[in-house]
Amino acid sequence: MTNKTVFRVHPSVNFARFGTSEDYILSPETSAGLPQEGTQVTGGLPIKKGTENTPVTSNDLRDEEGNLKKQAARFRIYAYDVNGPDTYPSGSGTEIVIGTKLADGRTVTDLRWSSHLANKKAAVYNVVNNKGIEAYADNQVPQLRNPEVHGDINSDYRLNRLMIDAGPRAISASSGDSAKFNRCSEAKCVKQAGEITPLPNYPIRFPEDTNDELYEPSGPLDTLGEILTDDDGRLLVLASSGNAVGQYDEYGVPIQMTGDLNNVGWFDSAADGPVNVTLVFDDGTTEEAFGAWVVCGDPAYAPQIRNVVSVWDDVYNMFVRDLELQPELYGITHDEDAYRYKPTYQPNFTQDIQPIFIACNLQRWTANLPPLALQAHTAVQAINEDNDPNETIMAALNFIRDPNKNETNIGAPLMPLSLGAAGTSFLTVTKTQYFMLEQWSKKQFEKGGESKLGPGEILDMASMANCLGGRYVPGIEVSYTIMEKDIYQQDWKESGAGPFRIKQYPLTYSGLSKETKETTPYLKSGWIPLHNMTHGLEPGDLSKFMATPWQTDYNSCSIHATAINTDGVNESNGAESTLYWSWPSQRPDAVYVAEEVYNNVLPQQKWSIRGKGTYAINPASAATFQDPIQSVQDWDKIGIIVQGTNVDSDTQEFAPELYLEVQSQLTNPGDATDPVPAWPFNANPPKKKRSCPH
């Protein structure tokens, strides 16, 4: 391969988050909870609008009316010089903005961005919480959502009624364009030579098209978001307000929500889709960058609380094990004809080990951990690169669940103690994380040193590191499918695309006509896992594996007994009624309210979801809105957890070690709420099964 400059959009997968305000802040570009050079503020905080990287403070989270601000996903373009197969990390990459002059003398005059957002949740298959991806194994598929709507999964009839497709939008950065993903904004795409082409016959679909009336507790579902650019021509993708609408039943009553995951007759405004850009140069030439993907979804209620296993950990693990990301870490050994981790590989303590320890210690700010666990977690975070691993609390990895062994049903004292993936009681770190820890435990690790990642690679990592991994039941931002190699561009080394890039199904937008606009949807049901489908993802093919509406799942996934993962049968080594945290880092359970902290003395914890409508008869449903309708209406009132440094207060100065809840609108100081018990605590005993009376 000769020397060549390629362009890539980063982050390769980015996340825009719902907000009820028209105003927005930017999604974080640093990794949750990790130290940042030159500041006490740890990573993960969203960025103030209009700034490069200034973290928000608590007053930035809501607008003047108290509405929750959206988080815009910001995409940048980086140029890479390629002269052979790609390696990771490249450590390189130069950002391209309008006005950048390349080495070949060309200057960037415009960036023509495009995206296409869709939501296929209601049109596709149920989430099967205790099966996960296995529900698609052996050429099977789960039951269809909304089965009363006739037709197979790709029938026009079903897709016209159940799929939300806003169509593509394209904008010119130099023109300062913006475009909303609603019916009023014309569909457009970027065709050859960077030409923005209107698509007047694109079959846009929203629920109101086929429903005379909808139950709209938070307003009509008439948009999936918006795109615009900043002063440098970077793309900003805004999510929708996050609202959900439901159909009415035959009696004129909003359709009853019957569960957390697959509510019939309900639509939400989550979405996902490709992000592409064509660079236009002063000499009239154009270049296409390798595109990215945006997911529009749940707010980040605890942006700095690092997940022990994040989406990044899972995706990185898959690329290491399945797509030869770093052969020096995992690959074929000389003496064995098998892929394995290389015993000579030395992880870096700061980059590879310490983030796990930090994540461990951060759990205290969103979960009701017992005092002894707090002591232990403090000791874990205190481990530094100069400590002898054998003399630390992590000696022999004695308290880490080994993902290579059958240990997912062993609870305390093995960590992480939160609930696991579908079919397992407890979470494990990934195999790659565990290998890194093993190497550290054997004193085979590097000290010091800065990240070897290039700036675009850092964005890839940070974006995904701020999302929930491990427990995709079905997840918060994305589900288990994010770990499937089939969704990625597997020729990442040769193509110039670089790793972690979702393969886009080629959408040409050809053949659209006025005659078929009302009758024929453009998108199909799209990609599903374990069916040898490697042709790429259509818009909506990530978010369709999530719950519908999203609020009911977020609401319910607070605390559970392990049996929820294992077909209702307790397979753990503890009591069947013992409760554990579902998504403690990403879905706060128990929090410290900033307004109740004085002189940095912590008060009793409170449930994140509390107050009117949250009083639970069964501890298993504590910390949730008891009526799912309330979760659809009041999710934006939930508070956000931020570091003490960034809590605005006229009277208090909070320590940087504290992460406190701010901006909750669910209760006022002094209001009575359900108390938070010490862990371990138990659900009410299960109802006894009826036995034969004879």
CB of 441 to other proteins, least distance (A): 9
Q: Count Cβ atoms within 10 A of the Cβ of residue 648 and give its class: 0-12 exposed, 13-18 middle, 19 or more buried.
A: middle
CB of 134 to other proteins, least distance (A): 21
The least CB distance from residue 546 to other proteins, in Å, is: 32
User: For residues 307 and 586, is the Cβ–Cβ distance under 8 A?
Assistant: yes
Q: Which stretch binds other proteins (CB under 8 A): 15-23, 100-108, 197-205, 407-415?
A: 407-415
Instruction: Pick the closer one to other proteins by CB: 119 or 605.
Output: 605
Q: Decide: is 392 part of the binding site for other proteins (CB under 8 A).
A: yes
Spell out a b/e string for 467-490, using b for 16 or more CB atoms within 10 Å of the CB, else e: bbbbbbbbbbbbbbbbbbebbbbb
Q: For residue 483, give the DSSP letter.
A: G
Residue 693, Cβ density class (10 Å: 0-12 exposed, 13-18 middle, ≥19 buried): exposed
Binding of other proteins by 338 (CB under 8 A)? no
Residue 569 contacts other proteins per CB under 8 A: no
Q: How far apart are CA 537 and CA 528, in angstroms?
A: 9
Q: Is 405 in the site for other proteins (CB under 8 A)?
A: yes
For residue 454, what are its two tokens?
A: 């290039």
Q: Which of 495, 578, 649, 665 binds other proteins (CB under 8 A)?
A: 578
- Here's the x/- map for other proteins, 486-525, by CB under 8 A: it reads as ----------------------------------------
Is residue 590 within 8 A of residue 601, CB to CB? The reply is no
Q: Does 398 bind other proteins (CB under 8 A)?
A: yes
Taking CB under 8 A as the rule, which mask of x and - marks residues 528-557 in contact with other proteins? ------------------------------
DSSP letters for 82-121: ESSS--S-----EEE-TTPBPTTS-BEEEEEEEEEEEE-G
Asked if 187 is part of the footprint of other proteins (rule: CB under 8 A), the reply reads no
Q: Which is nearer to other proteins, 102 or 379 (CB)?
A: 379
> Looking at residue 264, what DSSP letter applies?
T
Is 664 a binding residue for other proteins by CB under 8 A? The answer is no
Q: Is the Cβ–Cβ distance between 242 and 192 less than 8 Å?
A: no
Residue 200 neighbours by CB distance under 10 Å: 10
Phi, psi of 419 (to 5 degrees): -70, 155
By beta-carbon proximity to other proteins, the closer residue of 406 and 599 is 406
Q: Which stretch binds other proteins (CB under 8 A): 72-80, 243-251, 567-575, 598-606?
A: 567-575
Residue 350 DSSP code: I
Give 681's DSSP letter.
-
Q: Does 379 bind other proteins (CB under 8 A)?
A: yes
Compute CA distances 563 → 407, 409, 578, 583, 686, whole Å.
Answer: 16, 10, 10, 16, 11
Of 355-374, which residues contact other proteins (CB under 8 A)? 370-373
Tokens 């009793």 found at: 604
Q: Candidates 65-73, 122-130, 235-243, 677-685 — which segment interacts with other proteins by CB under 8 A?
A: 677-685
Quick one: which segment of 54-62, 92-100, 106-114, 397-405 binds other proteins (CB under 8 A)?
397-405
User: Taking CB under 8 A as the rule, does residue 394 contact other proteins?
Assistant: yes
In sequence order, what E strands does 282-375 have? 286-288, 292-297, 330-332, 339-341
Among 413, 449, 675, 686, binds other proteins (CB under 8 A): 413
Residue 133 CA to residue 472 CA, distance in Å, equals 9
Q: What is the Cα–Cα distance from 79 to 70, expressed in whole angstroms? A: 29
- Residues in the interface with other proteins (CB under 8 A) total 40
Whether the Cβ atoms of residue 178 and residue 115 lie closer than 8 Å to each other:
no
Which among 98-106, 398-406, 494-502, 587-595 is the span making contact with other proteins, rule CB under 8 A?
398-406
Binds other proteins by CB under 8 A, chosen from 87, 143, 285, 390: 390
Complex with other proteins: residue 50 or 370, whichever CB lies closer: 370
* 270, 546 contact by CB (below 8 A): yes
Residue closer to other proteins (CB basis): 64 or 391? 391
Contact flag: residue 677 with other proteins (CB under 8 A): yes
For residue 370, whether the previous peptide bond is cis, meaning omega lies within 30 degrees of 0, is no
Q: Could you say whether residue 602 binds other proteins (CB under 8 A)?
A: no
**Is residue 201 at the binding interface for other proteins, with CB under 8 A as the rule?**
no
The reply on whether position 575 binds other proteins by CB under 8 A is yes
- Interacting residue with other proteins among 573, 633, 649, 652 (CB under 8 A): 573
Question: Closest Cα partner for 271 from 291, 294, 246, 296?
Answer: 296
Pairing state between β 24-26 and 70-82: parallel
**Contact present, 540 and 270 (Cβ < 8 Å):** no
Q: Is 386 in the site for other proteins (CB under 8 A)?
A: no
Our finding on whether 678 is near other proteins (CB under 8 A) is yes
> Residue 591 and residue 588: Cα distance in Å, rounded?
7
Q: How far is the CB of 658 from other proteins (least distance, A)?
A: 17
Instruction: By CB under 8 A, tell whether 174 contacts other proteins.
Output: no
688 contributes a contact to other proteins by CB under 8 A: no
Cβ(438)–Cβ(397) below 8 Å: yes
Query: Taking the complex as a whole, how short is the minimal distance between the CB of residue 681 and other proteins, in angstroms?
Result: 7
Pick the closer one to other proteins by CB: 253 or 569: 569
Asked if 616 interacts with other proteins (CB under 8 A), we say no
State yes or no: residue 378 binds other proteins (CB under 8 A).
yes
State the residues that interact with other proteins by CB under 8 A. 370-373, 375-376, 378-379, 388, 390-399, 402, 405-407, 409-414, 573-575, 577-578, 677-682
